[in-house]
Structure 1
Amino acid sequence: MRLKGKAALITGGASGFGEGIVRKFRAEGAQVVIADINESAAQAKAEELGAAYCGVDVACPRSMTRLADMVIAHFGVPDIVVNNAGVTHQPQSMEQVSEADFDRVLAVNCKSVYLSAKQFVHQMKARKSGVFLNVASTAGVSPRPNLNWYNASKGWMITATRAMAVELAPFGIRVNALNPVAGETPLLASFMGEDTPEMREKFLSTIPIGRFSTPKDMGNAAAFLCSDEADMITGVCLEVDGGRCI
């Protein structure tokens, strides 16, 4: 029960990697709020796992304020904030990506981290403790062709994680990130362009361990980095990638 007594907010927690993190956090004793743009899915997952839930658009300031108010009313300032919600664009040449898709990727993947910091950092500073965990990607370390603006958004998240860690360390706040390789999540088909055996084989050939990241993998890594066992670890962007970035 490494997270017993901890309260955690997890965005994008109704499915994919976020669901894996929620499941592991509950198993480790944390109270959890599942925040997801798909409110009905968040409610169903919350009922299954004994968590609270809230519908949220992580790129919208008003929606994030409503979420923060709900979280604080439910269990006070959270001990842990996991910025997991993310989107991508379809694989294509960088100049072919629409401006609307570009704006959406940057809003959900980058602005959301800024907005969560706006909501919780000042209160964590006053308490002298807190943990942020950002879910970035191996795409921000070793970019794949035709996912240019998604790659760039995850590179931004990696730099933001390190910058946050340096600035917030004197206040007792740790900030880390996870860099998963492509996994069995709703985004997999979008990364590959099409979900076929041939495309899966092509992607898997770049992962030395020979399989995709799973929600369970992400939950295990997240639980460690957010626990007191990792009290000396901040500014780390941990690859959960089966050797993809070697």
Structure 2
Amino acid sequence: MRRAVVVIPTYNERADLEAIVSRALAATDGAHILVVDDGSPDGTGDLADELAAVEPRLHVLHRTRKEGLGPAYLAGFAWALERGYEAVVEMDADGSHHPEDLPRLLAQLDDHDLALGSRYVPGGRVEDWPLSRQLLSRGGNWYTRIALGISVRDATGGFRAFRADALQRIRLQDVASQGYCFQVDLVWRALQAGLTVVEVPIVFTERRNGVSKMSRRIVLESLLKVGGWGFTRRMRDAREVVVHHHRLPSVRNGSSRTDA
């Protein structure tokens, strides 16, 4: 089994942290947990330190201010890669992702570079979401598939496992996205790098405590950036078609030549 670490970003998640860490440790055979706390004013980081003091498989990375999901995960990835972990998992702290699904995600890394926990493949589903949130999520994934020309059903989901060598191949130093867009960004980079991606059905449960970090700014960022990536893709494809056309052999009077 690969040496794995589950990266859990936190900001004001004290109410759920102990339970989610306990479940993750119980669900995995030797995997470590890294809590990346963005200076939570509710004491999440302090609680993480207390838990880590008695649990050698739990680690804490403190960040001084709230910078968002993307930078928190990038800091966690860097921490994991520096320490030689072979598999790195993204998981929320609020209980929306079920730690009991971790073994199924990690098992897929035997044959794939990236395993996505998917709400929108057969066997996956969402529980307790209002209709407005379901429409936003499904609409965002439909828009992503159309804009980028990909077949991934749940590119915005945040429960996923990477092989460490795959993370090293997707230019993490260039990532500057947040929220939904951060998750799409990593999937898009993985596909562009030729990595193998598989979707594993999961049940996503609405959080019981605290408030969602979703905002209009995150939604707008996703719309604009994904649209921009899609435009760049279409322009690149159009150039390749033109170049290919000019390289096709032409037949004149029984002889062939390649047009310049």
Q: TM-score, normalised by structure 1?
A: 0.39
Greater strand share, structure number: 2
Structure possessing the higher radius of gyration over alpha carbons:
2
Greater helix share, structure number: 1
